[in-house]
Amino acid sequence: MSLQITKNYIPIGHPNRPGKLLKGIKARIWHGTANFNSSATDIMNVKYAGRKYTKKWNEKEHKWYFFEEDGKTPFSYGIAHGYIDYDSAIITIPTDEITYNCADRQLPYGTIKGIEGYKGQSKLSYDLFNNQPNSYTWSIELCMNDMNKWDLVCDNAIEFVKQYMPGLDKEDLRHYDVSRKNCPSPFVNLLIKEIDPRWIEFKKEVRKALGEV
């Protein structure tokens, strides 16, 4: 059965869709939803990304500020180009536009208590993206609502990339590689110094599917 892929674009002007074009494409960034609730499908995650909001004009700064629907809580940004489930996938942002998937930081990377990364940065983010990963990456969210079907999610993700995000010169990176966030957690083993072998195998399968190995 072929992967069912639909397009459900977030409207331009929504805080999660600024409508700005990517400056280039250097990598595919892989994320995990970290929501194990059975209802947290690709459909639910897309609904959440495109949820209602309010905005208020700041007269002093002459700019709009976005809030959650209650009008008080600052809007929590976060979206990917595509959401992959074990039986379907949804595209939310055109692949030539920016998504808020990794924190852009202008400060140089550093260390805190011996841990690489400063305010969500890594040396890789500094070297490869000039601390602007949102402007140079495609982003993919892997749904974790049924970990018994995780292998199907990964298979669908590979098929999704073949159709919508190919490229011989693109890096495959975990959110962890860019910001040191434990994401996607099934591909990040913090108890070992080496790169998680599950991630190495997944990257290899992506490359194989794209005819790059």
Mean pLDDT of 174-182: 90
Q: Answer for the pair 140, 28: CB distance below 8 angstroms, yes or no.
A: yes
The letter for the amino acid at 80 is A
29-81 pLDDT, tens digit each = 999 999 999 999 999 999 999 999 999 999 999 999 999 999 999 999 999 99
DSSP assignment letter at 59: T
Residue 6 forms beta bridges with which residues?
90
Which pTM was predicted? Answer: 0.90
What's the mean pLDDT when you consider all of the chain? 90
In this structure, of 4-13, 109-118, 188-197, the range with the lowest mean pLDDT score is 109-118
Q: Would you state the pLDDT for residue 191?
A: 87
Q: Would you state the pLDDT for residue 193?
A: 79
Q: How far apart are the first and last CA of the chain?
A: 25
Taken in order of first residue, the domains within the chain and their CATH numbers are 4-51+77-209 (3.40.80.10)
Give 5's pLDDT tier (boundaries 50, 70, 90).
very high
- Which of 141, 142, 112, 137 lies closest to 124 in space, CA to CA? 137
Q: Answer for the pair 79, 10: CB distance below 8 angstroms, yes or no.
A: yes
Considering the chain, what percentage of its residues have pLDDT values greater than 90? 71
Q: Would you state the pLDDT for residue 39?
A: 95
Q: Select the more confidently predicted residue: 192 or 200.
A: 200
Which H or E element spans position 163? helix 150-164
